[in-house]
């Protein structure tokens, strides 16, 4: 009986180790802390010139919905993350998640959500990251709203669009999120283009550093 109990305990222990090993690593902010769902972070970049993310005019002749653009030499607007598993308390790499601006645009002439989504512009033949997406409700109808964060180097990350929320999405697009340079000078987030390595700065920590450095 003791041998049986030891054998079963061994199996359970190995199963636990296997599960722990397969769980993706948590995404860390610039302080080395795990990123939490619903908490506001600035999305800084390790690439210069350029700053964080903000609202921008839609690509081409499109006005609405608003696009996600890179702010010029500014921290931009904070964002929040929502993992595909609503019970997950940590944002992890290689895992589907929603991204949304934590603040509405200053002039809201487009009635839509702050959630990011990918949209194909036929005139420019380019996939852009726009707003007015859907938060949650993972499935084949919402694949355009799901992004992933992947590690780059030691402390950096990149955004990736490669949704796995639909079982029949074998032909889904898998590309990194980069910068598209428009003729009007706007730097919009799009699939492909110039790489856009990012770091995540917790909003309250950003304010604290600004106060203590003065």
Per-residue pLDDT of 160-213, as tens digits, reads: 999 999 876 556 789 999 999 888 788 999 999 888 899 999 998 655 454 334
d(CA 157, CA 26): 12
| Structure confidence at residue 55 (pLDDT) | 94
- pTM of the model as a whole: 0.83
Q: How confident is the model at residue 2 (pLDDT cuts 50, 70, 90)?
A: low
What Rg value do the Cα atoms of the chain yield, rounded? 20
More confident residue, 202 or 15: 202
List the one residue out of 200, 177, 199, 176 whose CA is nearest residue 188: 177
Task: Report the share of the chain in percent with pLDDT over 70.
Answer: 81
Phi, psi of 169 (to 5 degrees): -95, 45
pLDDT of 49 reads 60
Asked if residue 14 has pLDDT above 70, the reply is no
Q: Where do we find the tokens 């999120």? A: 177
**Average pLDDT of the segment spanning 4-28:** 59
Alpha-carbon distance 170 to 121, whole Å? 22
pLDDT over 80 at 26, yes or no: yes
The whole-number average pLDDT for the span 46-60 is 83
Give pLDDT tens digits for 102-132: 999 887 778 889 999 999 999 999 999 999 9
| Topology annotation, domain 24-212 | Trefoil (Acidic Fibroblast Growth Factor, subunit A) (2.80.10)
Looking at mean pLDDT, say which of 21-30, 57-66, 92-101, 196-205 comes out highest. Answer: 92-101
Residue 48 CA: distances (Å) to CA of 196, 198, 208: 10, 11, 24
Mean pLDDT score across all residues of the chain: 84
């Amino acid at each position: 009986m003791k041998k049986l109990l030891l054998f079963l305990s061994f199996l359970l222990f190995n199963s636990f180790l296997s599960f722990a090993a397969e769980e993706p690593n948590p995404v860390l902010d610039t302080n080395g802390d795990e990123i939490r769902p619903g908490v506001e972070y600035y999305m800084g970049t390790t690439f210069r010139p350029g700053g964080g993310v903000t609202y921008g005019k839609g690509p081409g002749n499109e006005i609405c919905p608003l696009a996600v653009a890179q702010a010029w030499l500014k921290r931009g607007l904070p964002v929040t993350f929502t993992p595909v598993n609503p019970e997950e308390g940590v944002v992890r790499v290689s895992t589907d998640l929603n991204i949304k601006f934590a603040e509405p645009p200053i002039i809201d002439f487009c009635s839509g959500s702050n959630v990011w989504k990918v949209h194909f512009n036929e005139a420019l033949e380019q996939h852009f990251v726009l707003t007015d997406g859907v938060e949650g409700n993972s499935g084949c109808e919402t694949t355009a709203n799901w992004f992933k964060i992947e590690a780059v180097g030691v402390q950096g990350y990149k955004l990736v669009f490669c949704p796995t929320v639909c079982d029949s999405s074998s032909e889904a697009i898998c590309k990194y999120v980069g910068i598209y340079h428009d003729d009007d000078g706007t730097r919009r987030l799009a699939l492909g283009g110039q790489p856009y390595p990012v770091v995540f700065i917790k909003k309250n920590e950003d304010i604290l550093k600004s106060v203590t450095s003065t």
